[in-house]
Amino acid sequence: MRRLFLFLCLVGLFVGTVGAAFSYGNTNVRIYADHDGNAHVVEKISIEIDSDASAQIYDSNIAITNDITSWKTRTGIDKIRYHINPNAAPISNLRIIPQPRKRLSVINPNYEAVLQIEYDTKGLFNSTQVKARTYDLSIVKDGLSFSSNTKGDIVLEETDYLYIILPDDVQAMSVDPLAQNLDVLKKTDKEFFWRGKTTLQDFRFVYRYEKSLRDEVEEYFLNMKDSFYGFISSQEGIYAMIMLILILATYLILKSKVGAS
């Protein structure tokens, strides 16, 4: 009886494994850096779907309100997650966009789908002014959230793809280890790529942005405008406006009395 029970347990385990609806493919992370140390991130996680019944489950879930936890639960894939650390670089404007599934081939009845995760992240790169209107932006040490070794180095798994894309008007200053799509670093390089089974030891990524004089003047006046509106809407600003109105009203009353005499 005991042997029969163990046999049934093994059969159940085997059936559960065979009947898994979804399996993980790979993760493609693209980081679009900006001039201020922030970035727009697009993550694409490929998923294999093993049957028409599972495909229907995927399709029905596309219309459901999306969040990371729900998709991990629906697919049973733990690797569905952010690859930016929100504690180091806060995330906003999150959108999860499940892509339409595609059949792998005529002879393979399985499907492939891509779960696209888009968001903005603030402060992924530290900004340091090196001279007038010139800033160096370096990636935050704990900003990326991939696997790591005992030394704290980033370790890309075989199925991990990492891209960093720079704006056209910046210069790449330091990239270590060098991206796999480059033989030597040039300041004109804009796209950097690393893929799986790679350790980013003491990872360093720095680019330089030089503001134009026009941009600096515009930013100065925008900051002045924001400060003015902030003051006007504050309690102190309201008191100042009331005092100004009282002073103006007193002046007009006194002026009218002097004119009348």
User: What is the reported pLDDT for 9?
Assistant: 40
Are the beta carbons of 121 and 84 closer than 8 angstroms? yes
Residue 109 CA, chain-centre distance (Å), reads: 34
Q: Per-domain residue ranges for the chain?
A: 19-210, 213-260
Element (H, E) at 156: strand 154-156
- Burial (0-12, 13-18, 19+ Cβ within 10 Å), 182: middle
Q: At what angle do helices 68-75 and 52-62 cross, to 10 degrees?
A: 170
Query: Left if phi > 0, otherwise alpha if psi is -120 to 50, otherwise beta: which for 211?
Result: beta
Residue 37 CA, chain-centre distance (Å), reads: 12
DSSP symbol at 116: E
* First CA to last CA distance, the chain: 119
SS3 per residue for 5-36? HHHHHHHHHHHHHHCCCEEEEEEEEEEEECCC
Query: pTM for the whole thing?
Result: 0.75
User: What is the reported pLDDT for 241?
Assistant: 76
d(CA 82, CA 90): 11
**Which of helix, strand or coil describes residue 169?**
coil
Cα separations in angstroms, 194 against 82, 104, 139? 18, 26, 15
Residue 216's identity, in one-letter code, is E
Per-residue pLDDT of the chain (261 residues; tens, 9 = 90+): 555 444 444 343 333 334 448 999 999 999 999 999 999 999 999 999 988 888 888 888 776 757 888 888 888 899 999 999 999 999 999 999 999 998 888 777 789 999 999 999 999 999 999 999 899 999 999 999 999 999 999 999 999 999 999 999 999 999 999 999 999 999 999 999 999 889 999 999 999 999 865 555 455 445 565 665 666 677 776 777 787 787 877 877 776 766 666
d(CA 19, CA 197): 29
